[in-house]
Structure 1
Amino acid sequence: MSASYPPARRVAMVSEHASPLAALGGPDAGGQNVYVAQLAGRLARRGYDVVVYTRRDDPRLAEQVTAPDGYRVVHVPAGPPAPVPKDELPPCIPAFGEFLADRWAAEPPDVVHAHFWMSGWAALAGAKGLGVPVVQTYHALGTVKRRHQGAADTSPPERVAIETAVGRAADLILATCQDEVAELVAMGLPRDRITVVPCGVDPDRFAPVADARRSAAAPRRLLAVGRLVPRKGFDRAIRALAGVPDAELLIAGGPEPALMAAEPEAERLRAIAEEHGVDDRVTLLGGVSPARMPQLMSSADLVLSLPHYEPFGIVPVEAMACRAPVLATAVGGQLDTVMHGVTGVLVPPDGDHDLSGTIRRLLDAPDLLARYGEQGRRRVLDHFTWDHVADGVTRAYSAVSSVPSLSGAVR
């Protein structure tokens, strides 16, 4: 039976640097782009009138484009029509807000959903005086980034102050996990205006691939996936491999393979592998297309997700959707997604834990790994599909606006 959805309601999404139409893989094109595209598409197919406002970063872009899923994308003329690193975008935000104010004065949306702190800054300026509620999703927090990166943090110095002001002014904040809720409350933001709606995955695309498993004689396969940056913990996986004989480690992420030789983090990881005598068992795959990722994940005996910190962490959810067992650090959203002893294993983010020993014990228990994989897939279907995300977001919209909810009140 097909679902019955409400008549169209006007939803404005603001995603200043992360266009839902952007090709993934660039330095500022990743999870937020996917989130906005998937959510906008789900809402449009349910009958909502969705417009996504993103910055024009190419003079050839049309002012407005209709995406295949039915939502519209407006390219806002704010700053130069050229790529600008997101940490250098604050001077462009006042013009972005003025554009929204002009557009919405003529035809105000029923609700505004801002993605990232600068989008919230622009959205609040655009909605000022209109009585239009603003819902904020941060996707990442400056306080967390500053704590973990210290002097290496390239965020604008005003980020945390503006991020906090945005949270105080927004009608509702959507956190992606319970750890983010704690961070937001520590910033002084009101708990009663924060609700959790996690990120999602497409379980039809990320699904087990039946013929992906290799022969029993092949080495046991460990897989790590993510951007090639130190905080992802790939170095820890390489060091652990030294204590896991007869296993290989594949690392998927970074630029395309032809450009990996010039990638500094790849060079660092190769040096660590050589130092620990495992360079013949570590393969840096470079960037892997989303189309290939389900087969790669399905081929793994164990997926390692070992970041030092992680706002949400979509890799464990994608792996579980492919029925792959997960070993993850107990940080951020991974505390919500990976159920310790049910869908995988959580380990401390510091280096004191005997990671090699944990990996060996898991690889020596194939029945346990199979059970983790089965339970992981079930958990994704029950909690982490994009339809679940759309349900949670529309409940949030309903709590602050006249936009009808699809499935009850915000919990």
Structure 2
Amino acid sequence: MTGHLPSRPSPARVAMLSMHTSPLDTPGVGDAGGLNVYVAELAHRLGARGVEVDVFTRRRDADSAEITEVSDGYRVIQVAAGPVAPVAKEELPTLVPEFAAGILDGYGDREWDVLHGHYWLSGMAGMIMAERLRVPLVQTMHTMARVKNSNRADDHLTEPSVREHGEAEIVARAAILTANTPDEGEELSHHYGARDDQLAIVPPGVDLEIFHPCDQIQSRERHGIGQDAKIVLFVGRLQPLKAPDVLIDAVAELIKRRPELRETLKLVIIGSPSGPQSTWADALPEAIRDHGLDEQIIVRPHSPRPELFRWYCVADVVGVPSYNESFGLVALEAQACGRPVVATDVGGLRHAVRDGETGLLVAGHDPSRWADALEELIDDPARSRDLGRNGALHAARFSWDNTAAASLAAYARALH
């Protein structure tokens, strides 16, 4: 290896595992979301620093290339495990041994310095590989079963015990556990018994070249949107965890209070169904009709990030009503564009959004409280602009280059 300190060696080769979803997938489709962005951006930034990064994912499409060279030093490798077709995430645990064996048998001579698992399924495969290759496993959970179960609503599915047990085993055996925030580190300790010497705080980043401050007036002129419109934006997968229904009910409550807003208030929901409760999204159009808001609420499918940037630019406020987030990349993207955020006072959103400074945090999911927060910002454009300016400065601190640097430090600890 080259370019390392004697006490803290730097890895020359890293194997990243993203079994259930590929960094090549479009966020917002199926199981693709913030994890996909995280893996893709981190691998790209590590490759730019001279680290050779192999990202392994399960092969789901017979027509896609086995190996995709994404950028210097960074490639995505699709491994056969189970049918070459989509498989529900809850059925993937049985394919973990085959996935790990496919990597070891086909690419095990690469002599990686570090394994980096993303999500618990990849961590399970990483444990098999780490034992065989005698290299350290660094694990990023992204979400955790016990945390999700403790924050779920009554009608949300409970995360299965096989996942809880798997995550506990990963925590017991991983060399380093990276957490997005100190709060997530505390959750790893509280729910799974993680040791202090295992934990490394590695905040995610935001692509500041795509998401940056933009002029709302010019953006609306460019896209034919009236300057008097009051636009609330939701971006995310259409699933109970992300809770777009909370914003639907909040907008209905706000218009009920103030009927004059029916002419100007719009809620734009951008996303696609996802997960084992994907049919849950089928009820959203009916809820919109029941509220009589067909003209006020627009539901659009997922969008590539440059198009999301345009929607952030025309919005007045971005709502993130999730029941739990390890961080909340949507909140960070919105702030990078200079837009205030209303988010749930939970998990990583407490770090992504500074309450009263870059946006507002709402306790719980009572539509009346969410209507209060939206009304507060809609009625005070000057304050919204101040929050947006503060948000842009706040988001500028979170770059993927910083994430790569913190990840390299975590790898060095694992090697040491």
- TM-score by length of structure 2 reads 0.86
> Per the alignment, in what secondary structure is the counterpart of residue 16 of structure 1?
coil
Q: CA RMSD in A?
A: 2.5
1:167 equivalent among 159, 168, 171: 171
Query: Is 1:34 equivalent to 2:37 in the alignment?
Result: yes
8 A Cα contact 2:344 2:363, kept in partner? yes
Query: In structure 2, what is the Cα distance between the partners aligned to 1:105 and 1:272?
Result: 52
Alpha carbons of structure 1 residues 248 and 64: separation in structure 2 relative to 1, 3 Å: closer
Q: Using the TM superposition, give the Cα deviation of residue 41 of structure 1 relative to its aligned residue in structure 2, in angstroms.
A: 0.6
> Displacement of 1:82 after TM fit?
2.0
- Could you tell me whether the CA contact under 8 Å between 1:329 and 1:348 is conserved in 2? yes
Q: What are the Cα deviations for residues 14-49 of structure 1, in whole angstroms up to 9, with x where unaligned?
A: 111222223444312222222111111111011111
2:162 is aligned to: 158
The residue that corresponds to 1:115 in the other structure is: 118
Q: 185, 190, 194: which is aligned to 2:195?
A: 190
Is residue 203–residue 403 contact of structure 2 (8 Å, CA) maintained in 1?
yes
Q: Which of residues 364, 376, 380 in structure 2 aligns to 1:365?
A: 380
- The counterpart of 2:18, out of the listed 15, 33, 38, is 15
Counterpart secondary structure, 2:351: helix
Question: What residue in structure 1 maps to residue 7 of structure 2?
Answer: none
Work out the CA distance in 2 between the residues paired with 1:335 and 1:139. 16
How far off is 1:73 after superposition?
A: 2.1
Q: Relative to structure 2, which stretch is displaced further, 71-80 or 321-330?
A: 71-80
Among 210, 225, 228, the alignment partner of 1:218 is 228
CA contact (8 A) 1:221 1:248 kept: yes
Provide the residue aligned with 2:351 in structure 1: 336
TM-score (norm 1): 0.87
Equivalent position amino acid for 2:129 in 1: G
Structure 2 unmatched ranges of 5 or more: 5-9
1:395 aligns with 2:406: no
| Aligned length, in residue pairs | 390
Quick one: which of 53, 58, 62 aligns to 1:55? 58
Aligned counterpart, 2:240: 230
CA contact (8 A) 1:101 1:127 kept: no
Aligned to 1:350: 365
Aligned match of 1:253: 271
| Helix, strand or coil at the partner of 2:71 | coil
Q: Report deviation, 1:94.
A: 0.9
Q: Show the 5 A alignment for 1:308-319.
A: 308-319=323-334
Q: Which of the pair is proportionally richer in helix?
A: 2
| 1:104–1:126 CA contact under 8 A, matched in 2 | no
Q: Does the 8 Å contact 1:362/1:368 carry over to 2?
A: yes
Match in the other structure for 1:75: 78
Q: CA deviation at 1:357?
A: 2.6
Q: C-alpha distance in 1, partners of 2:379/2:156? A: 40
After TM superposition, the structure 1 stretch with the greater mean CA deviation from structure 2, 156-165 or 96-105, is: 96-105
- Partner letter of residue 171 of structure 1? A
Partners of 1:205 and 1:250 in 2: how far apart? 20
2:135 — aligned with what? 132
What is the CA distance between 1:108 and its match in structure 2? 2.1
Displacement of 1:171 in angstroms is: 0.3
CA distance in 2, matches of 1:373, 1:104: 47
Q: Is the 8 A contact 2:29 2:271 kept in 1?
A: no
- Please state how far the C-alpha of 1:277 moved relative to its aligned partner: 4.0
1:199 to 190, 204, 224: 204
Q: Check the 8 A contact 1:362/1:369 in 2, yes or no.
A: yes
**C-alpha separation in 2, matches of 1:364 and 1:377:** 21
Q: Is the 8 A contact 1:11 1:49 kept in 2?
A: yes
Residue 10 of structure 1 deviates from its aligned partner by 0.9
Pair 282,22 (structure 1): closer, same or farther in 2 beyond 3 Å: closer
